Amino acid sequence: MKIVDTFGLPDGLLAAIRNDQYNVGEKLEGTEGIYSPSSLNTPPQVRQLTREHYDELEEEAVTRVWSMFGTAIHNEIERATTGSDDEIAEERLFAKLEVDGKFWTISGMLDNINKRAGKLDDWKVTSVWTVMRMDRLPEWSTQLNVYRWLAHMNGIELDTLTINAILRDWSWRESTKSDKYPQTMVFKVDIRAMPHEEIEEFMRERIRIHQQDPVPECTPEDQWYGGSKWVLRKIGNKRAVKTEDTMDGLLTYVEGKKIVALGTMLQAPFGTHEAELDELTGLSKGDYYVIERPGERIRCARYCSVARFCPQAKREGTIFTEKAYGRNNQKPSLVPHETNSSSATRISTKSAPSAGKREAPF
Ligand code: SF4
């Protein structure tokens, strides 16, 4: 994989990013291959396409800046460890796992262990949004429990598992507005210690899935697909008036309001400002309309490094962001859902429900 730089990063920073390589460990003698907690959790199709196209893959250096921050944090904490026999920092452990008669190497780098206290601390540099949504909890939970199992297989018993999330975008001002917002920039997440048999079964199941031939396609969960939303907009308003998971949910809200068109389908790339769509409707200020905002396969569209080689993404018509981060400045478009024609600007009213007031469809 090549690290490319189209943003003209300073030489020193670019050199540091290119130097920030993660060591994945080695295969144990007599085993089939190596799995780390992160490779176990990676969708098999992503892993396979990465192997097949590794030399052709390119990644923007700037997208690795936060990962390099993570490395720096780990290095500093490692430097600050006391060096006592009880403490271990940044230690890679290995163990063999038998799956259907074959042995595999499981490998993982443990951040900080206190053997006397039976405690494992893991450091993550992440966003406030991640800990507020807690959508990575299942992945964090299996990761730390694989580490716990690795420690156990190497004669170290750990029962207290903690993720220490360092929140790179934490804001003091936001913390004063809501108790739900993290009250400090270091956020601790306690992870339940699973029985070793439970995490072994998880690892076996994941290895079986990874070993399927052909590998399975990515699931909606793998693709970080959030499902589509229904949006009520008012011409002239910057923000949507209301967003719901279903049209029915929205209709309860719009009852009594004058709705000019319902059942509109929207297809627009990531970064689209929905307010820009108002112009395309031809409606007047104060008119309401309803659109369906198709759910985005966020991993495919923005984060998957093998997306351009992926037959599934091609078949599903994933719209990729042009840049590796941020808004892509593409103009929005309204596309009739049933034709999927990119040149059309007509708005379909085909799926308009009978409820609600509707006049002058587009
Ligand atoms: S582009 Fe999407 S479907 Fe294809 S490998 Fe990546 S995550 Fe999976």
**Cis amide linkage into residue 214, ω under 30° from 0:** yes
CATH 1.10.10.10 describes domain 2-216: no
Note whether 175 and 183 are within 8 A (CB).
Answer: yes
Q: Atom 5 of ligand 1 has which residue's CA nearest to it?
A: 46
pLDDT digits (tens), the chain, 362 positions: 888 998 899 999 999 988 876 555 566 776 778 999 999 999 999 999 998 999 999 888 888 898 888 999 998 988 888 778 889 999 999 999 999 999 999 999 999 999 999 999 999 999 999 999 998 999 999 999 999 999 999 999 999 999 999 999 999 999 999 999 999 999 999 999 999 999 999 999 999 999 999 999 999 999 999 888 888 888 888 888 888 888 787 777 777 776 666 555 555 544 556 677 777 777 888 888 887 777 788 899 888 989 999 999 999 888 676 544 444 444 445 544 443 333 223 333 333 333 333 222 23
Amino acid residing at 42: T
Strand 186-191 with 229-234, pairing: unpaired
Q: How far is the CA of 67 from the centre of ligand 1 (A)?
A: 21
Reduced to 3 states, what is the DSSP secondary structure of residue 148?
A: helix
313 CB less than 6 Å from ligand 1?
yes
124 CB less than 6 Å from ligand 1?
no
What residue ranges do the domains of the chain occupy? Answer: 2-216, 223-344
Q: How far is the CA of 45 from the centre of ligand 1 (A)?
A: 7
Amino acid residing at 346: R
Cα-Cα-Cα-Cα dihedral sign, residues 216, 218, 220, 222: positive
How far apart CA 110 and CA 151 sit, in angstroms, is 9
For residue 326, the model assigns a pLDDT of 41
Cα-Cα-Cα-Cα dihedral sign, residues 251, 257, 262, 266: negative
Is the pTM higher than 0.85? The answer reads no
For the CA of 307, the closest atom of ligand 1 is: 1
Q: How far is the CA of 298 from the centre of ligand 1 (A)?
A: 10
Q: How far is the CA of 214 from the centre of ligand 1 (A)?
A: 15
For residue 156, the model assigns a pLDDT of 97
301 CB less than 6 Å from ligand 1?
no
Q: How far is the CA of 117 from the centre of ligand 1 (A)?
A: 41
List the structure tokens of 208.
Answer: 């079986």
Note whether 235 and 287 are within 8 A (CB).
Answer: yes
For residue 132, the model assigns a pLDDT of 95
- Per DSSP (E only), the strands in 75-118 are 87-99, 102-114
Question: What is the H or E stretch that residue 34 is in?
Answer: strand 34-35
Q: How far is the CA of 49 from the centre of ligand 1 (A)?
A: 9
Q: Which of 41, 223, 224 to mutate to test the pocket of ligand 1 (most atoms within 8 A of CB)?
A: 223
How far apart CA 137 and CA 192 sit, in angstroms, is 11
319 CB less than 6 Å from ligand 1?
no
Nearest of 330, 329, 302, 337 to residue 318 by alpha carbon: 302
49 CB less than 6 Å from ligand 1?
yes
For residue 146, the model assigns a pLDDT of 98
Reduced to 3 states, what is the DSSP secondary structure of residue 294?
A: coil
- Bridge partners of 126, per DSSP, are 167
Residue whose entry in the numeric block shows the structure tokens 């006391």: 82
